[in-house]
Amino acid sequence: MKITGNTILVTGGGSGIGRGLAEALHAQGNQVIIAGRRRSALEATAAANPGMKFLTLNIEDSASIKSFAAHVASKFPSLNVLINNAGIMRPENLLAQPDDLADAEAIVTTNLLGPIRLTAALLPLLQKQPHSAILNVTSGLAFIPIAMTPTYCATKAALHSYTQSLRYQLRDTTTEVIEIIPPYVQTDLMNGSEDPRAMPLNEYIAETMELLNTQPTPAEICVKRVHGLRFASESGKFDETFQALNEMMH
């Protein structure tokens, strides 16, 4: 994808990886719109980056997504890049779950249905542009799950599969499909912002932007730190990597 001169929507853009990507892309001369549920976080991010726009979005609500997409198309008709980044991660004890399974259902709705719904709602607008791109943020945990967060890992694995199908279906169009596959990064997701085992956010964003600037852009954006997870099966190391990861995070 071309890395400058775009109009870019980043979901979950008020914090963590979403904010990091939004700020880096904003600095490269793109019109960036961040979206999310927490207005305070969006306002703070936009205020720190003059010219950046923000819109609130309840990614769990299908009706809200449709009205949001219509608003985006009206206010930003040149939108040509969608970054599906919003996500939640919660631990689950599968031996002692509540009857309503609220956490699991919220994770599926936010992490999987959210990107699918938003992509469907905005694809007609993206297809009108001379060049466009959809970037789905998955995780190294799509390939090696952490057992303590089973539904989160399952949604990221499903989003990886969906992204592959989306890329194939759009292969003859002007819409590029890219998967961003982060490792464990220092963000507020699962309170990992101070964990020394996680990759510093600024280092992750810098290496990711370097890969996004590569031409042609790789179909998968994998920093070196995530290679062990992403390619564990291909290298015949799935079992040992799964065991080591889960012992480390236990």
Active-site positions read 152
Q: β-strands 81-84, 220-221: how paired?
A: unpaired
Helix ranges (DSSP H) in the chain: 16-27, 39-48, 62-75, 102-108, 114-128, 150-169, 201-212, 227-230, 238-249
CA atoms of 248 and 110, how far apart (whole Å):
27
CA atoms of 88 and 219, how far apart (whole Å):
24
29: left (phi over 0), alpha (psi -120 to 50) or beta: left
CA atoms of 89 and 213, how far apart (whole Å):
29
The answer to whether 72 and 122 have CB atoms below 8 angstroms apart is: yes
